[in-house]
Amino acid sequence: ELTWLATSRVDPITGEAFPELEPKHFSWNSPRGWCPNCRGYGCFYEGMQQDLETKGHLFDFRDGEVCPECQGDCIGALGRAVILRTKNGTQFTLPQMLRLTPAQLSKATSNIDLDPKGKAVAELVLPEIWERLAFMETVGLGYLTLDRQTATLAGGEAQRIRLAAQLGSNLSGALYVLDEPSIGLHPQDNARLLDSLENLKTKGNTLLVVEHDEETIRRADHVIDLGPGAGQAGGHLLAAGSPNTVFKSHKSHTSKYIREGITHPTHGQ
């Protein structure tokens, strides 16, 4: 089998040329980067037929069928042809990297073989990537590959991925406002989440968390308890201060339930 290679970006016979690479060539959300056959979806879904036909594309496909052109990789041929090599001789395309777990991808990207210009760029980009991958590990998502479709995720998994995207950066001096981040989390994963939030705080960030989870309240530096009820029955400041200070309040329903528990209608305390 013969394979013809060229050192230039232009074919001297056909005149076909590769464009200068830019980030959009690796994005399935951009017309420059998406697979022209499936328009960046990687597979076909019900109702997509009519959408493609209105844009001049004529296809006959079954719901859920993987795109035959990109084989589910979502990006076009140019993006799929670009290779990153590691120092041990392994090479990856972007779709191949997205099939890795966070730990595998961290290992692969820490060993990329780059020229001086590439190293200067990577030093700015890779630390934030590693931080987000590490956060996925911390909140118990280390088993997910990065090409996993959102529609296949459980509610708790989707919640943690959103948190990883927002919190897995290397910022400091920022204010984060989180609305009930513990929803959908297993208790073990909730503890991991709180550890990650503690790490975020130690970097010099401020966290404002709206929560009803007892473990989260106990880990807070300062608690503001509003009530006494919800909606129109609320709006009053019942207690504020450290968790122990709030737990001693006699106005707060939260402190009462934490001190005394709640009586079950059939099982008692």
> If we measure between CA atoms, which residue out of 177, 133, 134, 186 comes closest to residue 159?
186
Asked whether the predicted pLDDT for residue 159 surpasses 90, the reply is: no
Average pLDDT over residues 98-114: 94
pLDDT band at 239 (very low <50, low <70, confident <90, very high): very high
pLDDT at site 157: 82
Q: Specify whether the CB–CB gap between 176 and 137 falls below 8 A.
A: no
Peptide bond into 228 cis (omega under 30): yes
Which 8-state DSSP code applies to residue 142?
T
pLDDT at site 28: 92
* Distance (Å, whole) CA 181 – CA 184: 8
Q: How does strand 223-227 pair with strand 236-241?
A: antiparallel
